[in-house]
């Protein structure tokens, strides 16, 4: 019989596969249901190979609130490698501020014209319409805990901001953050949706609500 050579799945494997597909359909169903928001944290899953670690919902909300207050009415906010803050800002559907996201991960291009492809290795390779010192505050979270990454991201931050900077990075980067951006550590301790081995902190160069 020719069917003898056709590989057969065991009933256990088949059941597991069906369960997997069912869970996948349920996740997609939740996404397309009325309650789903395309800007929700987790709507785009973390890619650890890109050193992505999303903030907890509470932390993202706190940082988004801080950015709105610091930017002021009608202010402009830039999120550099900080997509979960961008998502939380967009959830607010605010009419009193504008925001854009500078990000290496092109999956975030689903957010349209507010998405700007950004590679920290080329810190000033930015669109011509992104004018210098045109943002009231820049929220940045460099993807790697290295001085090289921080230094290059700092070039971008200083180009974009009118003055205010909100930096999120490891506690071990305190000295380098002060050196390259003139920022000081805050009392507020950011949390991630998944626990990280490295202690994370926020740094600012203005009187903020994070102390």
Tens of pLDDT along 188-198? Answer: 999 987 665 57
pLDDT (mean) for 20-28: 57
In this prediction, residue 43 carries a pLDDT of 46
**pLDDT of 129 higher than 70:** yes
In this prediction, residue 46 carries a pLDDT of 47
pLDDT (mean) for 47-67: 78
Count each helix (H run) and each strand (E run) in the chain, helices first.
Answer: 5, 7
Give the chain's mean pLDDT. 83
Task: Match 């597909």 to its residue by tokens.
Answer: 21
Cβ atoms of 183 and 163 closer than 8 Å? no
Give the pair of three-digit tokens for residue 54: 């999303």
In this prediction, residue 122 carries a pLDDT of 97
Cβ atoms of 119 and 60 closer than 8 Å? no
**pLDDT of 26 higher than 70:** no
**pLDDT of 31 higher than 50:** no
CATH homologous superfamily, domain 51-204: Vaccinia Virus protein VP39 (3.40.50.150)
DSSP assignment of 5-74 equals: GS----HHHHHHHHHHHHHHHHHHHHHHSTT--TTSTTSS---GGGT--PBPHHHHHHHHHHHHHHH-TT
Name, of 12-26, 38-52, 113-127, the range with top average pLDDT: 113-127
**pLDDT of 183 higher than 70:** yes
pLDDT (mean) for 159-182: 97
In this prediction, residue 35 carries a pLDDT of 40
Give the DSSP letter of residue 92.
T
Could you tell me the pLDDT band of residue 40, with boundaries at 50, 70 and 90?
very low
Buried b (16+ CB within 10 A) or exposed e, 45-70: ebeeeeebbbbbbebbbbbbebbbeb
**pLDDT of 109 higher than 70:** yes
- Strand-pair partners of 80: 102, 140
CA distance 18 to 107: 28
Give the pair of three-digit tokens for residue 67: 């950015």
CA distance 208 to 211: 7
Cβ atoms of 161 and 133 closer than 8 Å? yes
In this prediction, residue 50 carries a pLDDT of 44
């Amino acid at each position: 019989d020719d069917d003898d050579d056709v590989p057969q799945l065991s009933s256990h494997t088949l059941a597991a596969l069906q369960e997997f597909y069912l869970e996948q359909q349920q996740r997609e169903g939740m996404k397309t249901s009325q309650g789903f928001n395309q800007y929700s944290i987790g709507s785009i899953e973390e890619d650890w190979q890109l050193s992505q670690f999303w903030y907890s919902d509470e932390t993202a909300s706190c940082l988004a609130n801080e950015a709105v207050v610091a930017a002021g009415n009608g202010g402009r906010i830039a999120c550099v490698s900080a997509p979960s803050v961008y998502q939380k800002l967009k959830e607010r559907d605010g009419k009193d501020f504008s925001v854009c996201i500078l990000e290496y991960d092109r999956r975030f291009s689903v957010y349209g014209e507010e998405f700007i492809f950004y590679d920290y290795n080329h810190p000033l390779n930015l669109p011509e319409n992104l004018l210098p010192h045109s943002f009231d505050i820049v929220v940045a979270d460099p993807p790697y805990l290295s001085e090289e990454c921080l230094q290059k991201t700092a070039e971008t931050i200083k180009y974009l901001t009118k003055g205010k900077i909100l930096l999120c990075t490891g506690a071990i980067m305190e000295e380098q953050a002060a050196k390259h951006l003139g920022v000081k550590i805050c009392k507020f301790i950011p949390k991630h949706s998944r626990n990280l081995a490295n202690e994370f902190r926020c740094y600012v160069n203005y009187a903020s609500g994070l102390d």
